[in-house]
Amino acid sequence: MKHLFAVVLIAVSPVLAADPTLTGSWKISLNVSGNTYPMVCAFQQDGEKLSGTCKGGDNSDNALTGQVQGQKITFKHQTPYNGDMITISYAGTVSSATEIKGAVDVQPFGVQGDFAGQKDGPAEAK
């Protein structure tokens, strides 16, 4: 009986320990200086490395780079704003397999705000 329990525990352990992947499409809402900006980001996660694109009001795909370490997520991308390029940096937590949230920093303006993201997924059967 002890051996059966050990085999089951060993077989299940990697599943229990695995962090949810962030790969997929995310709807992200930025709140900066009292204004809300919707974004859609497509993440590709490879271990701790995060890459992909974010699309905002200008409807262009802006390359992103970032990192995921446990429940911590950081990423950034550049995007055009009023004829100039700005850098938006995100630092937050993975609240669940379908939710991220945290702080955002916009440079070169030096303004901060927050963000919340929800992972797009297939509709659940009812």
pLDDT one-digit tens code per residue, 86-99: 999 999 999 999 99
Helix (H) or strand (E) holding 41: strand 35-46
Please give the Cα distance from 57 to 65 (Å, whole number): 20
| Domains (range + CATH), the chain | 20-115 (2.40.128)
- Given a cut of 50, whether residue 114 has pLDDT beyond it is yes
**Torsion from C-alpha of 54, 60, 62, 68, nearest 10 degrees:** 10
Picking from 32, 40, 35, 44, the residue whose alpha carbon sits closest to that of residue 60 is: 40
The encoded tokens of residue 46 equal 């490879």
Compute the average pLDDT of residues 111-123.
88
- pTM to 2 decimal places: 0.80
